[in-house]
Amino acid sequence: MLRRLGAETRQVRVPADLAGLDGLVIPGGESTTMTLGIEREGLAEPLRELAAGGVPMLGSCAGMIMLDSEHLGLMDMRAERNAFGRQVRSFEADLEVRGIEGGPIRGIFIRAPWIAEHGPDVEILASVEGRPVAARQGELLAVAFHSELSEDERLHRLFLERIQGRAASIPAAQRR
Ligand code: GLN
């Protein structure tokens, strides 16, 4: 999705892969597996430094879980894993997302979390059945669904615009 929108991408597996990144996606998958990988590679501290440097991040599904207070601790919220139920309870829904113009976006929820609790710095951008499923805190964006699996590019476009906005306002030499 990011490449389709013209971004240059690379996979991050070890701390050295973070060097020079303008933005980071923490994708869906399994938060338990990601936690083990992050521990094994010593990625937690470098990821926190990246966030502290204001680098925009997009966490989707398991990525949302990784951003929460019980994992990387980057957002002041707690994501409840598998909150909508097991695999058979996976679903799609059209949702209005604050900050995204042009009508609802298609959310694909695969054993998705929801945001069970959050602090005042976390802005809720969308909900399903009264449960928050999209949120922003500063440059960090978390969604419970997989927008990369739909044809709708607006969420990733929004993410890239944040990155470009930041790049334009900070001289390259000061970016990390
Ligand atoms: N259920 C997974 C977890 O708890 C998340 C699923 C997903 O990313 N689609 O990590």
pLDDT tens digit string along 92-111?
Answer: 999 999 999 999 999 999 99
The strand pair at 24-26 and 57-60 is best described as parallel
CA 160 to ligand 1 centroid distance, Å: 24
The whole-number pLDDT of residue 172 equals 60
Stretches in the chain below the pLDDT threshold 70: 170-176
The whole-number pLDDT of residue 170 equals 67
Q: Which residues are near ligand 1 (CB < 6 Å)?
A: 28-31, 61-62, 65, 81-82, 110-111
Catalytic residue ranges: 61, 146, 148
The whole-number pLDDT of residue 50 equals 97
CA 82 to ligand 1 centroid distance, Å: 7
Distance (Å, rounded) from C-alpha 166 to C-alpha 171? 9
Distance (Å, rounded) from C-alpha 137 to C-alpha 119? 10
The whole-number pLDDT of residue 75 equals 98
| DSSP-assigned beta bridge partners for residue 142 | 59, 135
Q: Please name the residue whose Cα sits nearest to atom 4 of ligand 1.
A: 81
